[in-house]
Amino acid sequence: MSADRRGTHAVKLAFEPDTIDLAIEQLVPLKVLRPGAKESKKYAQIRGSIKAIGLVEAPVVARNLDDAAKFFLLDGHMRIEALKDLGIQRVECLVSTDDETYTYNKRINRLAAVQEHSMIKRAIARGVPEAAIAEALGLNIETIFRRTRLLNGICPEAVEVLKDTSAPMAVFDILRRMGPIRQVEAAELMAGQNNYSVQFAKALLAATPDAALAVPRRKPPKRDGQVSTEQMAKMERELASLQTQVKSFEETYGVDTLHLTVARGYIRKLLANPKVVSWLGQHRGEYLGEFRSLTDSDGEGTDRTIG
C-alpha cells in the first residue's frame, strides 16, 4: 500500500480488473492431479457441468515474469483437465496479482447460493433443459426447480446483501416469510454477525412482529416459560445495539492498543531508573503504584524492591 501527498492510500487489487482469454496450452499447472482424480465423482460432475452449461467459475492464473506467453495456473486444475477432455482449447481466466495460491484461496469464496441460482437461470434461458442441468450438477430435478425459485419473494436489497455469502437455500425460504423491510434487516443482521445459519435465521423469524411478516402467524396458546415475540424482539434490538458497539470498538482497537503498548514501554523504561523511582516514591507515591501495576500486568514488570 502506498500513500500520495494528500494522504490517500492506493489499495492493491487481488486480481486484474479484466479477464483474459488464453489458450489452454499457455497454462503451466503448479500441481499434478492425484492418481484416480479423473475417475472421481467430483471430476465427472465438473465435466458434466461444463458440457451442459459451460464454465461457471473462471480458473485463476498468474503472469510468468520470465515468459509473457505463459501463465501459471493457480486454481482450477480439474476444470482445465475437463476442458481438455471436451476438446475446448481456450478459456477465460482471472489474473491474480499475487502468484501465491494460498493467498488466492483466502480471498475467494466458493459458489454462493445466489450465484448458483443466476447460473441455472442463465443456462435455462439459453435453452438447456432442467434435466440436463440436474444431471450435470449431480442433483435431482426437483432441486433444480427449487433453486430456480430461490429468489422469488425476496426483495432486491436483501439479495444484494446476501449475494456473495454462504447463506444456504433454507435461509431464503425463511426470509420469504418476512416482509421486504424485515428481510433487509434480517440480512444485515446475519452479515453483521457473519452468521448465515438456518438456526440464526429461524431466531430472527421468531423475533419478527406480525406486522413485519408476509403472512401473520397464527398465535398458539402461550405456555409457561415460553419466550414471547416481544421478548425475542427485545433481544434482537439488544443484539443489534451490541453489534454497533463492537463495530465502534473495532475501528479504534488497533490504534488504542498500539498507543498503550508504547506508553507501557516508556513507563517501564522510566521505572528502570532508580532515581526516577526514588523521586516518585517520595513525592508521588500514588503514581508509582499505578505505574507499577501497569508494567506488572503482563508479568514483566520492574522489581518492586527498587527504591
What pLDDT sits at residue 226? 58
Task: Reply yes or no on whether the pLDDT at 213 is more than 60.
Answer: yes
SS3 16: coil
**What is the rounded average pLDDT of the residues 75-85?**
92
Comparison of pLDDT for 239 and 24, the residue scoring more? 24
User: What band does 9 get if pLDDT is binned at 50, 70 and 90?
Assistant: very low
Mean pLDDT over the full length of the chain: 79
What pLDDT sits at residue 221? 54
User: What band does 41 get if pLDDT is binned at 50, 70 and 90?
Assistant: confident
Distance CA 221, CA 283 (A): 71
Predicted TM-score (pTM) of the model is 0.48
- Out of 21-30, 98-107, 158-167, 223-232, the most confident range is 21-30
Give every CB contact of residue 285 below 8 A, 6+ residues apart in sequence.
none
**What is the rounded average pLDDT of the residues 135-158?**
86
